[in-house]
Every structure is written in C-alpha cells, then in structure tokens.
Amino acid sequence: MPSLIHVEKHFNANYTVRDVVIGMSDGLTVPFALAAGLTGAVAASSLVITAGLAEIAAGSIAMGLGGYLAAKSDYEHYFSEKKREEYEVKELPDAEKEEVSEVFRKYGLTEKEIQPILDKFEKNPKNWVEFMMMYELGLEEPDKKRGLISALTIALSYIVGGMIPLSPYFFVEQAGQGLTISVIMTLTALLIFGFVKGKFTGAKPIISAIQTVVIGGIAATAAFLLAKFIG
C-alpha cells in the first residue's frame, strides 16, 4: 500500500517580500492620489508630471531611509539583548536555568528530563545564550547587510509603483485625459498587486485585492475632490 506524503505549506514572509509590499503599496497609492488631486486643480499634464516625479523622488528616499533605520534598529536591539543574556548566563545562572526550565515545562517535560538539558547548557554558554535569544525572546540574529538591502528594495519598489499612475500623463497634454488612463492603469495594478500580496501573505487573494483597490481608490478620490473644492 503506497504511503501518503504529507506536505505542509507555510508562508515564510521574508524581509524582501515585506519590503516590496511596503514600497509598492505606498508607491501606487500616494503618487496616484497626488496626481488625481493635481488634476482637479490644473489642466496641463506637464505640471502633474513635474510634481509627481518630485514626489516619487522624495517618497522613495524617505521610505528607503525608513527601511534602513528600521533594519538598523532591529540589529542594535538584537545585540543589546544578546549582551544582556550573556551577562545573565554568566552572573545569574540559577535564574536563567529556571527560565529554561519554564520553557520546557510548557511542553510537558519533567524536572528529571529537563536537568540533562540544563547540564549541557551550563557546559556550553554560547548555545545557552542562543537558546534564550530564540525561545525566550523570540529573536533571530539579523543580517548585517539587511539595512542597505531593505532601503534599496523599498525605494525601488516605491519608484516602480509610483510610475504606474504617473506614466499616462507623459503621453497626453491634458491632465484630465491622463487621469482617466491613470485610474484604469492604477486600479488594475492595485487589483493585481493586492491579489499577489494575498497569495504571498496567506490572506484570501480576492479579499486582499478588493481591499487594496478600495483603499487606493478612496485616497485618490478624496485628493481629487479636495483639490476641486479648494480650486
């Protein structure tokens, strides 16, 4: 009788996917809302293009810098906590042993079963610290290059996303015509992006797609109507 092979499907949301989602989502919605708002106030596509490119440049830099600082903060936090754990393992071993025991008690191990583990950790402080970092604090050592990679990924994703709603204005003179094409292109892109994002994150793709379109549409509509009202 053939055996059935059970394959578990889990989504491991790596940092690159997360950064692409952050950059693309803002890149699609913010320049789209800006272009729509400007279209409600000006007639020439050239003005929308100039303002749009300026926003994409500023937005990509700001978003990239935010990603870099976030990654750097994670790195500094990890090693700060690791230094503290190294001190506690060395200076407060009894307290640390109790914390280890508490972790294994939750999995049903007895004191007799836990003791050999404590003995092993006592002989290998490095592994002891690594265990505490992962299972007590839930922290994994971040990549030293993560900050730069995160900044570039978010910034480039923002630029790619931002050029989608802005690109139609390059081919028409009247901003109103550009907005019509921009709406179609951007809502389509938001729909596809939301669907793909749902696939990657484990959410329902259709729901994710609809939510992404609704959020982007509301932002652009609000900006357009506000510009019309003020103008």
**The token pair that represents 230 in the structure block:** 């003020």
Q: What's residue 4's pLDDT?
A: 45
**The token pair that represents 181 in the structure block:** 């094409």
Of the candidates 61, 75, 73, the one whose C-alpha atom is nearest the C-alpha of residue 155 is 61
Of the candidates 227, 195, 191, the one whose C-alpha atom is nearest the C-alpha of residue 28 is 191
Sole residue written with tokens 């007639």: 43
Give 10-residue mean pLDDT values along the chain (231 residues).
Answer: 44 70 84 82 86 92 90 84 84 83 82 84 83 78 81 93 91 87 86 79 78 76 68 53
Q: What's residue 7's pLDDT?
A: 42
From first CA to last CA, the distance across the chain in angstroms is: 76
Q: What residue ranges do the domains of the chain occupy?
A: 15-72+154-230
β partners of residue 44 = 174
- Please state, in angstroms and rounded to a whole number, the distance separating the CA atoms of residues 151 and 157: 10
Q: What's residue 28's pLDDT?
A: 83
Sole residue written with tokens 């055996």: 3
Q: Report H helices in the chain.
A: 15-39, 45-91, 93-105, 111-123, 125-131, 146-166, 175-201, 205-230
Cα 108 to its chain centre, rounded Å, is 36
Cα 202 to its chain centre, rounded Å, is 14
Q: Which helix (H) or strand (E) segment is 75 a member of? A: helix 45-91
Q: 3-class DSSP state for residue 174?
A: strand
**The token pair that represents 185 in the structure block:** 């292109």
Output the CA–CA distances (angstroms, integers) from residue 20 to 10, 103, 119, 140, 181, in the order listed: 19, 35, 45, 21, 25
**The token pair that represents 169 in the structure block:** 């204005």
Q: Return the number of other C-beta atoms located less than 10 Å from residue 125's C-beta.
A: 15
Residue pair 158/56 in contact by the 8 Å Cβ criterion:
yes
